[in-house]
Every structure is written in structure tokens, then in C-alpha cells.
Amino acid sequence: MPNPHIPVITIDGPTASGKGTVAQRVAQHLGFHYLDSGALYRLTALSVIRRDTPLDDEHALAKAAEHLHCHFNGAHIFLANEDVSNAIRAEEVGNLASKIAAIPTVRQALFGLQLSFRQHPGLVADGRDMGTVIFPHAGLKVFLTASVEARAERRYKQLIDKGFSANMEDLSKDLAERDARDSNRSSAPLKAAEGAYLLDTSAMTADQAVEQVLRWYAATKPI
């Protein structure tokens, strides 16, 4: 059972808001562990695609999530022993991940795995429900967002840099649809946790966002 006294920072927000970059840098600065919870759903989606699992079989989808053989090594993400860091960022995988993340049995299957990332000396966790469901008693909760336009630009650059093709209009549409799906799902909908600091990064650099989160964290630490 994870030690409840180990500090946790949660950074939630919509797709392409920059929360992953910010969370990674905050974790690196503090020497904390890092959990990219969205990667777990993307890994599940990739596994489902590769195994041709029926998308209407919730039991089979939950089974795929429950039996993920994955591990993280810095910025690299492995499924079994294969580095799938780039493969899970494909739009097909991201769209399916958003859909299966709305299934309660899939979310429950990944619950314990996410809790296990809370290890000494601390954890920075990013996702959709880190502050609301997984770590509701985190010492610092941040809800990080940005305009659809800013997020589409970031996502476009990310995909191009990784060698994927991308279209700005399609990306903007997909992001808006994912926002609606994530915010309106019955299980752990995307929303700011109670007591969360709101951070709009539309006009901010990643460095500025990291600095703000670190200032908030410093203010929450006991003297």
C-alpha cells in the first residue's frame, strides 16, 4: 500500500494542454517520480488495436487494461519490452484511448496500477482525474488548460516532430470532441478538483508554467 505521507502533485487538464511537459519538468526539478496516466490508457488502446480486441466487449477491454505489461524509463514507455513511446502518440491510438477511458471497468482496472506510482520521495501525476479520483488528498492540485487553438498548434508540432502527418483543422475538431467526451463521461469526468489551482497556459511558455507550479508547491510545503 503506497505511503499516504509521500507528497503528491496532481496536474490535470485536457488533451495537448501541456500538462505532460510541465509535470515531467516539475518532477525532474524536485527529484520526484512521474506518472503519465494518459499513457496507461494509450498503452491499453495500443494493446487492444494490436490484438484486434472487440471494441464492444467491455470485459475484454478491461482485461487488456488489467494485464498491461508496461514500464517507464525516463521519457521512454515500454509495452512488454518494446519501446512504444512514439507509437502510443498516433492519433488513432489517442482517439481510442479517449473512448475506452470512458468505460468504468477499464478505469477500475488501472486504478491500483496508478496508485503504485506513489513512491518516495514524491510523485507528480498528470491526467484527467488525478486530483479528483486517484489522489484526492494530494498536497497540491493543478488544473492546467489552454485554448483549443493553442493546443491544436502544440499537438500539430508534436506530431510533425515525431514523423506523423497532421492537419490543423482536423486536430482542432478532434480536440473539441475529446474535450466534450472527457468532460461529459459518467465515470471520472474531466474537471478541476476541489481546491485546485487553475493555470491557463495559452500565452505561457513551458518554463513559465513550471515556475508557477513550483511556486505553488513551495507555498504548500510545511515549514
pLDDT computed for residue 192 by the predictor: 92
- What tens digit of pLDDT does each residue of 104-151 get? 999 999 999 999 999 999 999 999 999 999 999 999 999 999 999 999
Rg (CA), the chain: 17
The overall pTM is greater than 0.85: yes
pLDDT computed for residue 102 by the predictor: 87
pLDDT computed for residue 216 by the predictor: 97
pLDDT computed for residue 166 by the predictor: 86
| Domains of the chain with CATH codes | 8-213 (3.40.50.300)
- Residues of the chain short of pLDDT 70, as ranges, are 1-2, 222-223
Among 131, 139, 150, 111, which residue's Cα sits nearest to residue 190? 131
